[in-house]
């Protein structure tokens, strides 16, 4: 029988030949990811009350990224607790080297076909690698850590097909903002959102990570992209053995004729750069429609906006230019690995010469942490995934979302700017 990619991964995880949309199944978890904010300090009291340990420490990855760099008393205490728990339990631990959704795949922990869970809403990022990964809360995570199992209602698939190729000046972030605007933040209906088409196949893995990540903003349970040669190339770079990937991953496809909940088709070539007005990603519009809106801060950060590809995109605009008077550029690279790569290739130098201030490799103000939270009188253009009221600072601050190209172009002009204006 025909099946979707989501159904195939679910069937494998629960040991069945096939599953039907709507079935409630008990699935074996291949990987559980937790971080300092929602991890040990939340789950350990539950595990202690139950009197149980971890089902398999080798299948648990812990990453500190929210309270990094620990520059408050509370943050320092939580990081100390996190480190002590990692030593005690013997789990894989990445301490202060970047945001969990970027560090996890670059560490080589993810594989196509996995069923994985994360203690964070943007855990669907793992779907860029053909893994079914989704976010869960601390109580459910404690159950996973204790048993290695989770019950799941088999999702339907919403297939989003992007035909054609993106035009210069347009990135994955623009695609996702456009989808949030057109389908709404409940457009994913807590189902599996699968991306396909020529434009998706042409994206780098880091751009695909942005697509999968922001399935959360669409209201999907996960975002999926079938693995291919680009997936293999990226994983090989992490040290993974991907010999025979064509045969091993051949089953990881949605079959022609498989039943879909919805099928949307978009023209990538016709898509202009997008921005989203405060206070929702669904307030999306072409960047040109918001031109003239003055900005005080240009923030290049977060798991959707400060990976190496994002930093390089911003640098392509900022090279030889300076921030407009009164505009502060803040750059928080998504991982230490990407920051080091940017430094090696001269990308970081370009950003700093333009006036950028370098911040820690952490969630930072995207999640409302750290010393650089926005003040009441600030208008920010940001490469983050969310611009909810008060999320990045004072509730009176105003956050616009855009791609790293749009953020950089706006930093140069001092107003929201279609990046094509400064590249032509």
Average confidence (pLDDT) over 49-66? 97
d(CA 173, CA 207): 8
Specify whether the CB–CB gap between 335 and 99 falls below 8 A: yes
The reply to whether omega before 69 is within 30° of 0 (cis) is: yes
Q: What is the DSSP string of 134-197?
A: EE--HHHHHHHHHHSEEEEEPPPEEEEEEES-PPTT--HHHHHHHHHHHH-TTTTTTSEEEEES
pLDDT of 371 > 80? The answer is yes
Chain segment 283-311, per-residue pLDDT in tens: 999 999 999 999 999 999 999 999 999 99
User: Which CATH code of 3.30.70.20, 2.60.40.2470, 3.30.499.10, 3.90.1150.110 fits the domain covering 275-422?
Assistant: 3.30.499.10
Total-model pTM = 0.97
Average confidence (pLDDT) over 241-269? 97
Q: Please report, rounded to a whole number, the percentage of residues in the chain having pLDDT higher than 90.
A: 99
d(CA 24, CA 22): 6
Average confidence (pLDDT) over 25-36? 98
Average confidence (pLDDT) over 246-270? 98
Chain segment 317-330, per-residue pLDDT in tens: 999 999 999 999 99
Chain segment 204-234, per-residue pLDDT in tens: 999 999 999 999 999 999 999 999 999 999 9
pLDDT of 424 > 70? The answer is no
Chain segment 11-26, per-residue pLDDT in tens: 999 999 999 999 999 9
Average confidence (pLDDT) over 99-119? 97
d(CA 73, CA 214): 32
Average confidence (pLDDT) over 92-111? 97
Average confidence (pLDDT) over 265-277? 98
Average confidence (pLDDT) over 167-196? 97
Domain range summary for the chain, segments of one domain joined by +: 5-267, 275-422
Specify whether the CB–CB gap between 32 and 116 falls below 8 A: yes
The CATH number of the structural domain formed by 5-267 is 3.30.499.10
């Amino acid at each position: 029988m025909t099946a979707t990619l989501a159904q195939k991964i679910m069937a494998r995880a629960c040991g069945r030949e096939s599953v039907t949309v709507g079935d409630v199944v008990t699935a074996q978890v291949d990987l559980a990811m937790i971080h300092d904010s929602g991890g040990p300090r939340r789950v350990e009291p539950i595990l202690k009350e139950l009197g149980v340990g971890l089902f398999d420490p080798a299948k648990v990855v812990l990453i500190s990224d929210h309270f990094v760099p620990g520059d408050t008393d509370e943050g320092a205490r939580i990081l100390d607790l996190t480190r002590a728990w990692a030593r005690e339990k013997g789990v894989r631990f990445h301490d202060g080297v970047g945001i969990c959704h970027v560090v996890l795949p670059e560490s080589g922990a993810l594989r196509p076909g996995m069923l994985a869970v994360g203690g964070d809403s943007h855990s669907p990022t793992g779907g860029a690698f053909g893994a079914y990964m989704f976010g869960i809360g601390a109580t459910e995570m404690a159950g996973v850590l204790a048993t290695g199992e989770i019950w799941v209602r088999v999702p339907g698939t919403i297939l989003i097909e992007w035909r054609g190729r993106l035009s210069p000046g347009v990135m994955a972030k623009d695609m996702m903002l456009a989808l949030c605007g057109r389908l709404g933040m409940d457009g994913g209906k807590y189902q599996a959102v699968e991306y396909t088409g020529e434009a998706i196949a042409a994206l780098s893995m880091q751009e695909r990570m942005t697509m999968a990540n922001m399935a959360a903003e669409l209201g999907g349970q996960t975002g999926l992209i079938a693995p291919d040669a680009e997936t293999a190339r990226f994983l090989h770079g992490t040290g993974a053995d991907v010999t025979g990937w064509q045969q091993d991953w051949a089953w990881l496809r949605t079959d022609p004729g498989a039943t879909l909940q919805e099928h949307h088709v978009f023209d990538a070539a016709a898509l202009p750069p997008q921005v989203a007005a405060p206070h929702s990603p669904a307030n999306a519009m072409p960047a040109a429609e918001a031109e003239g809106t003055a900005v005080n801060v240009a923030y290049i950060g977060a798991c959707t906006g400060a990976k190496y590809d994002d930093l390089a995109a911003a640098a392509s605009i900022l090279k030889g230019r300076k921030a407009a008077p009164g505009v502060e550029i803040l750059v928080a690279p998504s991982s230490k690995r990407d920051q080091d790569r940017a430094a090696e290739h001269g990308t970081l130098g370009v950003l700093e010469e333009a006036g950028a201030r370098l911040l820690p490799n952490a969630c930072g103000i995207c999640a409302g942490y750290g010393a650089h939270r926005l003040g009441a009188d600030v208008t920010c253009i940001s490469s983050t995934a969310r611009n909810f009221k008060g999320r990045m600072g004072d509730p009176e601050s105003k956050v616009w979302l855009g791609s790293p190209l749009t953020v950089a172009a706006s930093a140069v002009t001092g107003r929201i700017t279609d990046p094509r204006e400064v590249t032509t």
